[in-house]
Structure 1
Amino acid sequence: MANWLDTPQRYGRISRGFHWLMAILFAWQFAGALLYVSIGDTAVTKFVGGTHLTMGFTLFLMVLLRGAWALLNLKRRPPHHGRQGHAAVAGHALIYFIMIFQPGIALLRQYGSGKGFSPYGIPLMSVRDSKIEWMMLPADRLHYWLGFVFLALLIGHTTMALLHRTVWKDDVLSRMT
């Protein structure tokens, strides 16, 4: 059972599984968004981007589960020390905030649009004839740009992991691999 739980030396299999599965799903999300921005509305874009809503909902559920798992393992997790440790905690808090806020406002927009939403065939939001503008406004204004802010944060996160490995030669990256 110890391999499944986090320890002060290393994240457990469940934490690592959440991390890497979410990394793959976010890569798919960003691939669709970047394809749409770069080549427009094409068959390729529709194939990759056609799962954006359902994948975003899936990631939203996963981050909630991952956050709950992290809280359950909080006393067992690898510690963060010093200024770099405080910066890592702040960076991770910002990443978690965006991973919750971004799909949250997207779901609010979806409900406000009246279009309905049935991820994996499960009806969560019914179709309505009317729109609720105030529910759509936050995502209309922020979702697109916040996605690119999030991408920049993830690039920074990856860069810092690689710096820890190659420049500072510590074991930070090995905790999650």
Structure 2
Amino acid sequence: MTIRDSTARYGAVSRAFHWAVAALLLWQFGGMLSERILGEDSPLAAALSANHKQVGTILFVLIVARAVWALVNRGRRPAHGPGLQGYAVRLGHFALYALMLAVPSAALLRAWGNERAFAPFGFQIFASRSPDEVVATATAIGSNFHGELAWIMGVLILGHIAMAVLHQVVLRDGTLKRMAG
């Protein structure tokens, strides 16, 4: 298996990014869904969402690296197909990348503007603020968009999975194999 992408299949780095991000997003959504369904005090919800900020930080770093890697390999990646279908695939992937960047960006904006320090893994990224130094606009934007955009991204992810299954089971065109191995 090659490191870089080719027109026939995604390389080892793209696959590693894809599946690492998928696993961490599953963890994040599992935590949020368990909070919604079972309540925040549920042991499962507490276990899955206790490290939401740390997992989100790792996700953000991986997503930025993944986006850079995708740009580096842009001309080498498998084609999405011609016509309307190809356009829909490109648009869907663009929306997923945009949301994967926007969701943690909203959380970072909220963390930057609020009172609490943001120090995932003990490394301070944003210092705490006194109540009179809070940037209300930043916290409001972050609070209003982080969760809502995440749920929209969740719907797009479900559509992405459904299309992968459709290509594998119904169309049998090898699309899933290019990313799965």
TM-score range with shorter-chain normalisation? over 0.9
For residues 95-106 of structure 1, what are the structure 2 equivalents within 5 Å?
A: 95-106=96-107
Q: Residue 25 of structure 1 corresponds to which residue in structure 2?
A: 24
146, 157, 166: which one aligns with 1:163: 166
Partners in 2 of 1:126 and 1:159 — Cα distance?
42
* TM-score when normalising by structure 2: 0.93
- Identity level (%): 35
Partners in 1 of 2:7 and 2:147 — Cα distance?
37
Partners in 1 of 2:76 and 2:150 — Cα distance?
32
Partners in 1 of 2:80 and 2:149 — Cα distance?
27
Alpha-carbon offset, residue 142 of structure 1 = 2.0
Q: Deviations over 1:39-96 (max 9, x none)?
A: 1122332221011111112111111100111111111110122221111110000000
Q: Residue 16 of structure 1 corresponds to which residue in structure 2?
A: 15
Alpha-carbon offset, residue 35 of structure 1 = 0.7
Residue-pair matches, total: 176
After TM superposition, the structure 1 stretch with the greater mean CA deviation from structure 2, 55-64 or 93-102, is 55-64
Partners in 1 of 2:80 and 2:168 — Cα distance?
16
Partners in 2 of 1:141 and 1:126 — Cα distance?
22
Partners in 1 of 2:107 and 2:114 — Cα distance?
10
Q: Residue 139 of structure 1 corresponds to which residue in structure 2?
A: 142
Partners in 2 of 1:47 and 1:111 — Cα distance?
25
Query: Is there any run of 5+ residues in structure 1 with no aligned partner, and where?
Result: none
Q: Secondary structure at the match of 2:171?
A: coil
Partners in 1 of 2:79 and 2:47 — Cα distance?
41
C-alpha RMSD of matched pairs (Å):
1.1
* TM-score when normalising by structure 1: 0.95
Partners in 1 of 2:145 and 2:65 — Cα distance?
24
For residues 105-120 of structure 1, what are the structure 2 equivalents within 5 Å?
A: 105-120=106-121
After TM superposition, the structure 1 stretch with the greater mean CA deviation from structure 2, 36-45 or 82-91, is 36-45
CA contact (8 A) 2:103 2:147 kept: no
Q: Which portions of structure 1, spanning 4 or more consecutive aligned residues, are displaced by more than 6 angstroms?
A: none
Q: Residue 41 of structure 1 corresponds to which residue in structure 2?
A: 40
Query: Is there any run of 5+ residues in structure 2 with no aligned partner, and where?
Result: none
For residues 142-153 of structure 1, what are the structure 2 equivalents within 5 Å?
A: 142-153=145-156
Q: Deviations over 1:11-46 (max 9, x none)?
A: 000000000011000000000000111111223322
Q: Deviations over 1:116-161 (max 9, x none)?
A: 1111211111111122110011122222222211111000000001
After TM superposition, the structure 1 stretch with the greater mean CA deviation from structure 2, 119-128 or 148-157, is 119-128
